[in-house]
Structure 1
Amino acid sequence: MKNNTYFSRQHIFRWLLLCWLLVPWALQAQSARITWSSQVGCQEYRGEKGGTDDNGTTYSFINSSQCLRVCENSWVTYTVSGQNISYVQWTISGGTATYSGPGNTQANVNWGSTGSGAVQAVITYTDGTVENQNICIEKINSPVAKFEMLNLEYKVCRNTTIYFDNTSYQNGGSDIVNYFWEFGDGTTSTAFEPSHAYADPGTYTVMLTVTNKCGCSSSYKRELEVIKSNPVQINCASVVCEGSTEKYNVQDGCKGEWNVVGGTIVGQNGNEIEVKWDQVDPADGFGYVMYKSECGCPEWTTIKIPVILNKGQIKGEPVICINKQYTYSVPQWPTTSVKWTVTGGQLDYNQQRNEVLFTAYQPGTYTLTADYFNTLLSCKGQATFTIVAEQPVTISGGTDEICVGTVQTFNAVPNVPVIWKVSSGSSVYTSPPMSGPFSYNFVTGGSYTVTATKNGGGCESNAILVKVLQAPMPPAGPISGDNKVCPGKPYVYKLNSPIDPGTVPVWEVTNGTIQGSNTGSSVTVIFNSGAPQYVVSVRNRLANSTAGCVSAPISFNVTPLDLNTITINPNPGPFCPSSMQSFSANLNGITPDSMSWSLGNTNYGSIVSGQGTPNISVNFNEVSSSIPTTLNLRIIKCGVIKDLSIPISVLTLPTVSFNVGNICLGGNLNFSVNQGTITSATSVELNLR
């Protein structure tokens, strides 16, 4: 026999995990980085046959993944560290979290069931700058630990050997590679199906922890009561060949009951039986002899008999995917060597002589054969197994990062009927069988995995990861700036609120153009001529995102200036000569570039105050004629001249006429007064000097 080198599966696996976990896992960008407390990696084995009787040197490695792998339902702590961090806003998809640490820098995440997930950290620094970091998460299946105790429920006599039936399963995940038994009395085992006996009576807890190739674990435990009664020992337990007849006996002072699984009792003489091993389950490869005494231990005593079968059975997956590694095994019989062969593909070996790892690189049907030989009894047998290796469909399409409400289209090659699966956390959509393009509307934020499987079963395709981002909230606002404008002139509009962390304001305008950048807290706009109205709006867009997700807008309505809405408030008079009068203009919210007042007849008076403003004072002169004139206003805005006027009139002074001749003292003086347009005079006063 060739002298081969072995590494314990447990030691190899623990060493790989230690190397994997001691690496300072982190995602770093600029001055801050995210670190995490744990992740897992999936082992693949490589090994060479060392000889005809045993497996040879083996080694394993951690394969790569697009996302960080975590076990389903596990707890992982994520921490943002760096300088000048003010606050961290976390978004967790596919799990639940609690947050702690200064500035909310730590997230303790309980990941949910298998599927995809994501960690997003929006980091705000003390200077107000914002950084967005994202981690893609792949939540992988954990195995399920389970075991039974052969022919026992929960009670056994002390010093009775207990055989454990390991019924753990992969649960859709990778192969289980490590088994760790704790028997509750300080002893442990790493065997697949160990046996154990308890020397002292009492209650013990047996716990099995199983770990798969990806480092995910599961535990199962049962309580066992060990009673003080002495057991009855069954003698002559050893490996046998199928079809052979063997004798088994007990040293018992009274009668008892025998039971056999996998064989036929062909003779009995007192406390001895003769068994022919002719009914062993090929999937198990073991028989069982059981005895219960009528006066000794009241529980069954069981021994496990390895039976080398003429025609064995190989356990493993009948349908596999190419380029993936699968484990196959025959029963783990003692002193039995196994020679594995296959019609194509690649065989790799681990340290278990009854196992082999098979990888197919081309689609097709393969025959796996195990020729085994027991070196103690020289009996041998063979087991064959048919494996169908399939080429999974290849899918393409979609975009890595999109916004909520985006429809993505995917295609499968070759174009055969497939079933599409879109999963995010515990939410899974499964399509009916279909050919051609597949479209899906991503209406909820999160990280999604898209795969396709041929109708009728088979290999799952490559996975496409899609990160769906929620739109940010709109800016708080409001927008400030001119609401009445001149077409063709530049105007500045500002957002009167702080920029939200992780976003960039993006400006839009209807019936106008933006000068310079359309992002930031302000924008410069030139409005088109001829439009009846304009709208300036701003949205928040996610920063550091290729998807460009934007919020709903906030808007500001703008109208073109209409100088026809400007009026002079009516005040026509007539006014008394030598009086002061006030006049005003209604600008209707328009701020003119310039405005000037004037009188149509400058002899009527002068503007004494308010020139260039909407409100003026006019001092009227004494006029000799009541011919009306006008008060004029010239407005200049946006290069447009608007002239307005209102009529005004000033009253003329009355005229007094005297007919004076020679008069005597005490005689009458006659005169007349021409009131002109003054009709409301109340008295006439005459002064003689």
Structure 2
Amino acid sequence: MGNVAPDKPFYSCSNQIINFVNTSTKNNGPDLVSYLWSFGDGTYSSEFEPNHIYTSNGSYTITLTVYNSCYCSSIFKTTIKIGNPGFDINCPSVVCEGQNTNYTIPDSGASACGTKYNWLIDGGHINSQSNSNANVTWDNVNETGFGYLTYDTTQCNLPCATPTTIKVPVIKKTGTIIGSSSICVGSQARYKLPQWPSTDFQWEIVGNVVNNLGEIVITDQRNEVIVKPNIAGTIVLKATYQNTLLHCGGSATFNITTINDFEIVGIDKICQNSTNSYTLTNAANTDWILKNENGIIITTVSSANTFTYNFAQPGVYKLSVAGSAQCASIPKTITVIGVPATPVAVNGDLIVCPNAPYTYSITGNNGSNRYRWEVSNGAFVGSNLGNQVVINFNNNATHEIKVYNESLNPLVCTSAPLTINVNNVQINAELSNANLSVCANSSNNSYQVNQFQSTSLYTEGEVYTWSISPASAGSITSGQSSNNINVLWNNVTGTIPVNATVTLSIKKCTLPNKILTRSVTIKPLPVLTVSSTVNNVPSTTVCSGSPIKFTVTPNIPLDDPTNVSVKWNFGNGSSVTSSGTTYTATLTNSSNVAFLNYNVSASIVSPNGCLGTSTSLPILIKVNPAPVATLSITSGGNAFCPPTSTINTLLTAATSGVGTTIAWYKDNGTQVLGTGAQLQLNQTMGYGNYYFIATNTTGCSSRSNGVDIFELCAVPVECILNPIPQVVNNSTSGCTNNPPTTVAEDCNCSRINFSGTAPGASSTFWEILGPFVNTTVSGTSFVISKAGEYHTFFNALYTCANNGDGALFKIRKTITVPYVADFGYTAQCNGNSTFTIAVTDKSSFLETVTGPTFQYAYKLNNSSTWINSITTSNGTITPDLPPGIYNIRLNIQGYLNGVLQTICAKKIDITIAAVPNQSIAIFKAATCNYDSVTFRVTGAQPNDTFLWTFEPGTPNEATSTLKETDRTFSSSGNKSVTCLVTNKYGCNRLLTLNNVNVPAPCFNGDT
């Protein structure tokens, strides 16, 4: 209503026409359809822009109420203050455009203004004017169709000096239609021309045929119509009008853009937390507005063809659009349904077996809702809906169950899931690392399955099935079907370790069987090789009496090579045991003329803890003879007491072989004292130990025995003994008294007997000096190992009568031992229960002995008759000696200085035996196919060895060398077993057992 703020009043005069201007707008809403003016003086008007005359002074409240097509209303109020009476301009009620018209005021008004008048015009121009009239041409009226002529009285002498204005309807030749330039198809819009009085209006839609373009609705106002378009596009609204009084008129056209109706497309019922999108049917960009049920704007989106929103809260929402290019639409009502509560707990197993049904459930009543289940790595047995489901899980290790709470009415809304993690049963097991390197032919090797990365026994399996690959490698002797077993490992026929595999299959519920394996190295007895060095140089030739170092080398490393016990056999019946893999020996050749061969081998019992003995092949050692080197005192003795007696001793060297050289030494010195067969000692050469070294043509040397020359003053000059002691040395050799023709079977030629008399002596003791012997003897005899001259000293101690000092008497006696008998032997089984006995001479002879003879003889232990055999130093006594206990004797004899010496003998008792009658016995039979069978040999003897063969000649053939052995056969039926028994002499017997019954597999429960 004008451009006046509500709090700023209008001013006017009474009895004067007041023209009201309506400035109301629809404010982006539906069209305005009606108006109600209240002038505050009890009068009303429903015109768009009325005029009114107040007849009385005062202040009036003017109220304008505007209604749109939705019957919504808006009210505007302002105040008008009316003063003393004014005057109006006298004029025609309506004029034609371009018409000249005279307007006048009352004389009283013209008189009051005099020359202070002023006419004003809007919509034309004033041709002429005076204080009482004006001539006007209406040629510039705007689209409203009304002009305004004002007489300004502000300078006039009037009681109400407010300007007076008249509103003049001007019928334009070309009118202007007022209304919306766009309209939705099927909707209505109001269009109007100026409300000219006494004017007839004719409305039409150009080209409209039977309302195909649209419909025109006539209102109660002739200047207004309502248009309802029927198509989208552009229609032309045309009005032709004619004033019935003046007979002038015109026309007006208006282009209207018609837009198809649209609606918001999208789901109107959704679940809480859903994100939904909404679009318009015309896909146009628009402004979106979302309100909650309280009308509060939640969010807006500008100029977009899609509205997307996550409805996090339940409730009722209104979604509407706005925009000049859009038809008005009815807001879309969106109902957001709250989601049910998430399930709290599920009953059921969390550790499961695959491919087996498991039941899961939720307790309690879910009302009108339902539970929906999902599973990963599994499948439902039956429905996945309800309080309870059955699930069959697959072989994957992990699974996931999800259960949702779902409402069913008015919409299926799903809660957040309750997620349950389910794992397959795991067989967390591993085989122990014990006994991964074992001996062939070893029993009681334990294997067990433990908890993974633990030493605790695994006990959760349902079925345990053990196996050995290859089957010929060993047998499970106990524990099959349990979590630990004992294994007997069979024989290894080769010389290098072989690999076998222990396999365990664990079955638990419906899980795939868990297969565990361990590789086991089966070690055979080491193969030994002997090598030799002389002076750290590889050599198989050595001088008699010189050291030769033997080394045994296994093809498989020994567990403790430093402390291993090795038995060295020299092939002549003699042996020695050493600690470690090396041994330094001294081999002798007593022939003095030709080399002698030794077959040296090494044996290790239970090498690396494995049952059995490893024996090397012998190596041939050539022992060259070393010259005999025997030193004797020819004259002068070895004890002196200057000045009464001084050194005057003649030493004589006895050696052998043509071309042998001699070098004399003293006290391990380097100075050669002489090179002859004899050495004369004197006082200047001094006391000490004298010896010689003899070297023959093979380069072999021998160091003689030493002779000590020392100072001994037996009786001090000041010692008085009365009577003078008579000390006698009666020492003899063991065979001195035997005549040369006696067979000295019981004569110990290697023994010297001590005998002497010393009346009145306070104490006595014996000393002996000879080849490699220089010692004090506490007994009555001494055993020697080499032939030679031995000096015995009988020492008697007496007390001096005059001063109590001691006086020592030393009486020497020389005993010549021409030879010492000794021999070695070997016994070899011939395979027909007879034996070959071979002998090797190890006797020691003085070089000066001539014509040595040898005589071997043998007899049964319980016989008194000797049977003479060979007369050579080495050889075979008899090739076919039956088993028994035998005595073997060697007699040697020779000449010393042309005199035939006593026969010297050496006797050895030996036992030789064949393999007795034996048989194979089953100690423990099998009750099930996987049980082991225990075998024994009845009548087995100590030191027997065994070679068992199971299923000989078949692909399943396996061997063992245990005395008592076990075998788990790979199949059922009758089996054959053999055992080759060999005694310590090499005799053997093959035992056979047929029809060993192995039962069929046993079954107990599920497998």
Q: Please, what TM-score do these two structures have when normalized by structure 1?
A: 0.50
CA distance in 1, matches of 2:100, 2:20: 25
Superposition deviation, residue 309 in structure 1: 1.5
Correspondence for 1:196: 52
Deviations 1:105-157 (A, max 9, x none): xxxxxxxxxxxxxxxxxxxxxxxxxxxxxxxxxxxxxxxxx65579x962233
Matches within 5 A, 1:166-565: 166-222=22-78, 224-236=79-91, 238-242=93-97, 243-250=99-106, 251-252=108-109, 253-255=111-113, 256-293=117-154, 294=156, 295-343=158-206, 344=208, 345=213, 346-363=215-232, 365-389=234-258, 399-402=267-270, 404=273, 406=275, 408=277, 419=285, 422-425=288-291, 427-431=299-303, 441-444=308-311, 447=317, 467=334, 469=336, 472=339, 474-475=341-342, 477-484=344-351, 488-494=356-362, 505-514=371-380, 518=384, 522-546=387-411, 548-560=412-424
Superposition deviation, residue 515 in structure 1: 5.9
Deviations 1:567-602 (A, max 9, x none): xxxxxxxxxxxxxxxxxxxxxxx9x9xxxxxxxxxx
Q: Secondary structure at the match of 1:317?
A: coil
CA distance in 2, matches of 1:374, 1:410: 51
The answer to which structure, 1 or 2, has the higher relative contact order (CA under 8 A, 6+ apart) is 1
CA distance in 2, matches of 1:257, 1:536: 96
Superposition deviation, residue 511 in structure 1: 3.8
Give the count of matched residue pairs.
Answer: 413
Q: 1:172 to 1:499 in 2, by over 3 A?
A: farther
Is contact 2:185–2:258 with CA below 8 Å preserved after alignment? Answer: yes
Q: 1:355 to 1:472 in 2, by over 3 A?
A: same
Q: 1:350 to 1:564 in 2, by over 3 A?
A: same
Q: 1:480 to 1:248 in 2, by over 3 A?
A: farther
CA distance in 2, matches of 1:505, 1:184: 70
CA distance in 1, matches of 2:331, 2:163: 55
Query: Is the deviation greater in 303-312 or in 461-470?
Result: 461-470
Superposition deviation, residue 338 in structure 1: 0.6
Q: 1:212 to 1:516 in 2, by over 3 A?
A: farther
Question: Which amino acid in the other structure matches residue 537 of structure 1?
Answer: K
Question: Which amino acid in the other structure matches residue 290 of structure 2?
Answer: S
Question: Which amino acid in the other structure matches residue 553 of structure 1?
Answer: P
Question: Which amino acid in the other structure matches residue 71 of structure 2?
Answer: G
Is contact 1:363–1:391 with CA below 8 Å preserved after alignment? Answer: yes
Q: 1:539 to 1:184 in 2, by over 3 A?
A: farther
Question: Which amino acid in the other structure matches residue 280 of structure 1?
Answer: V
Q: 1:516 to 1:208 in 2, by over 3 A?
A: farther
Superposition deviation, residue 398 in structure 1: 5.4
Q: Secondary structure at the match of 2:112?
A: coil
CA distance in 2, matches of 1:482, 1:159: 100
Larger radius of gyration: 2
Superposition deviation, residue 281 in structure 1: 1.0
Q: Secondary structure at the match of 1:254?
A: helix
Is contact 1:475–1:499 with CA below 8 Å preserved after alignment? Answer: no
CA distance in 1, matches of 2:385, 2:132: 95
Is contact 1:326–1:357 with CA below 8 Å preserved after alignment? Answer: yes
Deviations 1:443-489 (A, max 9, x none): 34675758899xxx856598995848476364262445554456633
Superposition deviation, residue 516 in structure 1: 6.1
Question: Which amino acid in the other structure matches residue 309 of structure 1?
Answer: K
Q: Secondary structure at the match of 2:285?
A: strand
Is contact 2:66–2:74 with CA below 8 Å preserved after alignment? Answer: yes
Q: 1:556 to 1:316 in 2, by over 3 A?
A: same
In percent, how many aligned pairs have the same letter?
32
Superposition deviation, residue 303 in structure 1: 2.2
Superposition deviation, residue 165 in structure 1: 1.0
Question: Which amino acid in the other structure matches residue 472 of structure 1?
Answer: V
CA distance in 1, matches of 2:33, 2:363: 60
Superposition deviation, residue 202 in structure 1: 4.0
Q: 1:336 to 1:148 in 2, by over 3 A?
A: farther
Is contact 1:148–1:166 with CA below 8 Å preserved after alignment? Answer: no
Q: 1:639 to 1:418 in 2, by over 3 A?
A: closer
CA distance in 2, matches of 1:390, 1:440: 21
Q: Please, what TM-score do these two structures have when normalized by structure 2?
A: 0.36
Is contact 1:268–1:274 with CA below 8 Å preserved after alignment? Answer: yes
Q: Secondary structure at the match of 2:35?
A: strand
